[in-house]
Amino acid sequence: MNKILIFLALINFAAAQQLLNVSYDATRELFKEYNALFVKYYEQKSGKKIKILQSHGGSGAQARMLIDGLKADVATLALAYDINAVARKSGALDASWQEEFPLNSAPYNSTIVFLVRKGNPKGIKDWDDLVRNDVKIVTPNPKTSGGARYNHLAAYAYAAAKFDGDEDKIREFLVKLYANAPVLDAGARGSANTFIRRGIGDAMIAWENEAHLSKARLGEDEFEIIYPSLSILAQPPVAVLSKNAAANGNAPLAREYLARLYLPDAQEIIAKNFFRPTDESVAKKYEKTFPRINLISIESFGGWDAAQKRHFSDGGEFDKIYEIVAKGKK
Binning pLDDT at 50, 70 and 90, where does residue 186 land? confident
**pLDDT at 9 (0 to 100):** 41
Average pLDDT, the chain: 93
Q: Above 60 in pLDDT, residue 21?
A: yes
**pLDDT at 221 (0 to 100):** 81
Q: Above 90 in pLDDT, residue 118?
A: yes
**pLDDT at 8 (0 to 100):** 37
**pLDDT at 19 (0 to 100):** 98
- The residue type of 268 is E
Strand arrangement of the beta sheet that strand 137-138 belongs to: 137-138, 203-207, 112-117, 223-226
Is this model's pTM higher than 0.85 or not?
yes
* Sign of the CA dihedral with 295 first, then 300, 303, and 306 last: negative
253-272 per-position pLDDT tens digit: 999 999 999 999 999 999 99
**pLDDT at 217 (0 to 100):** 79
Residues recorded for the chain? 330
Binning pLDDT at 50, 70 and 90, where does residue 235 land? very high
**pLDDT at 330 (0 to 100):** 63
Pick from 10-24, 134-148, 160-174: least confident: 10-24
Binning pLDDT at 50, 70 and 90, where does residue 109 land? very high
Q: What is the mean predicted confidence (pLDDT) over 147-163?
A: 97
What separation in angstroms does the CA of 325 have from each of 116, 147, 179, 180, 203?
24, 20, 6, 9, 19
Q: Above 50 in pLDDT, residue 177?
A: yes
**pLDDT at 3 (0 to 100):** 46
**pLDDT at 15 (0 to 100):** 59
